[in-house]
Chain A
């Protein structure tokens, strides 16, 4: 693997835009690398592998392929990585796998940063293992001390405990020390500052006590504190890592490639290597990779991802196209006008970055708790130490009591309160097909009181469906089906499908020709027949999505289409309304289409013909009314609105930029789980708050005991374990 040659992922605080624009970053990374293309490994996604036989079949088939050195299936990730000679490409291997019965999709290795190893997770796991090992051994010795070991035996046990604890903490406590240090350097307080202080002070006083044959040493409490806190950190990390790798997988399945025409020959190149002036070929069904001008060919373009319009737009030479549009009928040659840094994709990144900075201002519950907790604990410890010093004039006693206060108040339960609940909640939502990308997404989702839906591609599938199919004369439908059979235009496919559903067999039409951008034409019983645009067949252009059928010498027949409802759309709208949310429909589509659609779903708050900026403004207007809005959208025109919203969801079919901008990605086709997401988020936040209350209750009981100087190491260990376990169990109650 050559992943070390890719630039390190910039961290979120240094470069928020980099973090939210993986596509743009990948393009830049690839552009700098075009001399050394990644030939080490080909990654293929295999959604269907599931058994031992699958593994051997796939590996054997690939090993037999000429030029392949080795292949290894990863069943957990449902991927295979292939090491092969430089001239073997993914396109060669996909048919090989299809021949043995497995569908494979190429993946872009540069989009997968965490594929090889999750280094940070491993590190945390090792620290956790060391802390666990040390805690078990020290506890064993401590039980002997608690049950009455005295004098030399007690001192020996304390010394052994110290010998185990100090190196163990030096290794496993590093994440806390580092985070505390960086917070202090910037003049801030976070949860790790009291943790670090407690650990260091407890170690120091325990060591001093041990050296002076003292009775109380807190080695056991210190190390088990570290262990519990690391467990919380690791849970937190796992949740994030799973979400991140699933999001990366979605991105990696869109390999940025283009077919460049050079001297009449086609060659497949990385989108990053395109420069203005190049001519590329975009086939029907393909997405425009860059901004450009059509040089040759006529076709129709689906711009719904950019504007939300469902009506395909006619395309002819000289017309400008922008990245993200989908070519529908005929092949197009496009002269590139802007690529990489200058393209609309990159401009979108700036827009997202701007909106992102407002979202970063959200303080999570954990941060708010830490903001109250950290100063409170420090004040308590100082007051206890000073008070006891003036009462007894004994520094050693005063410090011991301060250490006991810090240990007992230390936020084991607080450190577990949030991660344990979010792990449980995101696992639950993941099983329902939802991917939580952002740590605070659940909390923000729990607060929403209004939801704004985009129409095309979100509540609908963006695929048309014939309207009133049973009211159309059977012979017209049969003829239309005959004409549309050969075409892959979405309207033709909808016609053919409607005919199949109504069991109308298609008429035989001769001399079929598809005229890109207009429709299909043929001969039927000696007459010329056409199916296509209104103007082409000599009819009046209407406002809805429609196709006309014209038989020579007869009045044209109209077929109207509507956008197909996404499965679960009605459930999602009803469920959200039942949860007490206001439902809005904000679409870029024309007014009649949007109004008809809103009626169908029973949505009364409707905005139509909204430009991208208007969508975002509308959301801002709603939030300045004191509402917290959940935006659900999929297109480039929704991206600004998705970032401006309090929380946001997009389907997996959404554009890269829209998925990146949203907090939650819906993996399946069904949109119904959105309602569940809101209720789950609400109950998760309720659990988190309960956990905080439980942790506070323990402190209210334990702190006076510690300040009174009555806390023993046994009491500290009991309080800490009991509160951590109660909090974890409470998190598991999440329904």
Chain B
């Protein structure tokens, strides 16, 4: 049972990373234009660096 003392914190930590990543995507306006973003990857522009 001692393994629980590792597993529970690990599972919480991993879940927490996912939650933090989700927060970041919301905060950085990544859901404002889902259609546009899925099309933009097809364009040749900004292949080397993202648009300012």
A117 x B32 contact (CB < 8 A): yes
Nearest Cβ on chain A to B16's Cβ, whole angstroms:
8
Chain B residues 1 to 50 lying within 8 A of chain A, measured CB to CB, are: 1, 8, 11-12, 15-16, 18-19, 22-23, 26, 29, 32-36, 39-40, 42-43, 45
Nearest Cβ on chain A to B24's Cβ, whole angstroms:
11
Q: Is A621 an interface residue (CB 8 A)?
A: no
B15 x A137 contact (CB < 8 A): yes
A76 x B11 contact (CB < 8 A): no
- Chain A 52-76 against B: per-residue CB contact (8 Å), 1 yes, 0 no? 1101100000000000001011111
A56 x B19 contact (CB < 8 A): no
B26 x A75 contact (CB < 8 A): no
Tally B residues with Cβ within 8 Å of A. Answer: 24
B19 x A129 contact (CB < 8 A): yes
- Chain A 125-166 against B: per-residue CB contact (8 Å), 1 yes, 0 no? 110011001001100110000000000010000001000100
Asked if A137 meets B43 with Cβ closer than 8 Å, knowing A74-B33, A77-B33, the reply is no
Q: Which of B12, B16, B32, B36 has the most CB of A within 10 A?
A: B36
Nearest Cβ on chain B to A245's Cβ, whole angstroms:
12
Asked if A55 meets B15 with Cβ closer than 8 Å, knowing A75-B35, A122-B26, the reply is no
A52 x B19 contact (CB < 8 A): no
Please tell me which one of the listed residues A51, A77, A137, A164 contacts residue B39 in the complex, with CB atoms under 8 A apart: A51
Please tell me which one of the listed residues A70, A133, A137, A160 contacts residue B52 in the complex, with CB atoms under 8 A apart: A70
Closest A residue to B37 using CB positions = A75
B23 x A129 contact (CB < 8 A): yes
B36 x A74 contact (CB < 8 A): yes
Identify whether the interface residues of A are mostly helix, strand, loop, or mixed: helix
Chain A residues closer than 8 Å to B52, beta-carbon distance: 70
Tally A residues with Cβ within 8 Å of B. Answer: 26
Nearest Cβ on chain B to A135's Cβ, whole angstroms:
11
Closest B residue to A156 using CB positions = B4
Please tell me which one of the listed residues A56, A75, A133, A160 contacts residue B45 in the complex, with CB atoms under 8 A apart: A56
Asked if A76 meets B33 with Cβ closer than 8 Å, knowing A52-B42, A55-B39, the reply is yes
B15 x A136 contact (CB < 8 A): yes
Nearest Cβ on chain A to B33's Cβ, whole angstroms:
5
Nearest Cβ on chain A to B2's Cβ, whole angstroms:
12
Chain B residues closer than 8 Å to A76, beta-carbon distance: 32-36
Asked if A126 meets B15 with Cβ closer than 8 Å, knowing A52-B42, A153-B1, the reply is no
CA distance A140 to B45 in the complex (A): 46
Chain A residues closer than 8 Å to B36, beta-carbon distance: 55, 73-76
Closest B residue to A72 using CB positions = B51
B1 x A52 contact (CB < 8 A): no
Chain B residues closer than 8 Å to A52, beta-carbon distance: 39-40, 42-43
Chain A residues closer than 8 Å to B22, beta-carbon distance: 129
Chain B residues closer than 8 Å to A75, beta-carbon distance: 33, 35-36, 39
Please tell me which one of the listed residues B16, B18, B26, B33 contacts residue A126 in the complex, with CB atoms under 8 A apart: B26
- Chain A 98-133 against B: per-residue CB contact (8 Å), 1 yes, 0 no? 000000000000000000010000100110011001
Chain B residues closer than 8 Å to A164, beta-carbon distance: 12
Chain A residues closer than 8 Å to B35, beta-carbon distance: 75-76
CA distance A140 to B39 in the complex (A): 39
A130 x B39 contact (CB < 8 A): no
Chain B residues closer than 8 Å to A70, beta-carbon distance: 52
Chain A residues closer than 8 Å to B1, beta-carbon distance: 153
Please tell me which one of the listed residues B11, B33, B34 contacts residue A140 in the complex, with CB atoms under 8 A apart: B11
Q: Which of A76, A141, A153, A160 has the most CB of B within 10 A?
A: A76
B23 x A126 contact (CB < 8 A): yes
Closest B residue to A153 using CB positions = B1
Chain B residues closer than 8 Å to A136, beta-carbon distance: 15
Chain A residues closer than 8 Å to B32, beta-carbon distance: 74, 76, 117
Please tell me which one of the listed residues B19, B34, B39, B42 contacts residue A133 in the complex, with CB atoms under 8 A apart: B19
Chain B residues closer than 8 Å to A72, beta-carbon distance: 51
Chain B residues closer than 8 Å to A56, beta-carbon distance: 43, 45
- Chain A 69-92 against B: per-residue CB contact (8 Å), 1 yes, 0 no? 010111111000000000000000
CA distance A122 to B30 in the complex (A): 11
Chain A residues closer than 8 Å to B23, beta-carbon distance: 126, 129
Chain B residues closer than 8 Å to A141, beta-carbon distance: 8
A130 x B19 contact (CB < 8 A): yes
B29 x A117 contact (CB < 8 A): yes
Chain A residues closer than 8 Å to B12, beta-carbon distance: 137, 164
Other than the given A77-B33, A133-B19, 20 more pairs (CB < 8 A) read A52-B39, A52-B42, A52-B43, A53-B43, A55-B36, A55-B43, A72-B51, A76-B33, A76-B35, A117-B32, A126-B23, A126-B26, A129-B19, A129-B22, A129-B23, A133-B15, A133-B16, A136-B15, A140-B11, A160-B8
Which A-B residue pairs are the 4 nearest by beta carbons?
A: A75-B36, A52-B42, A52-B39, A75-B35
18 contacts between A and B (CB under 8 A): A51-B39, A52-B39, A52-B43, A55-B43, A56-B43, A74-B32, A75-B35, A76-B34, A76-B35, A117-B29, A126-B26, A129-B19, A133-B15, A133-B16, A133-B18, A137-B15, A160-B8, A164-B12
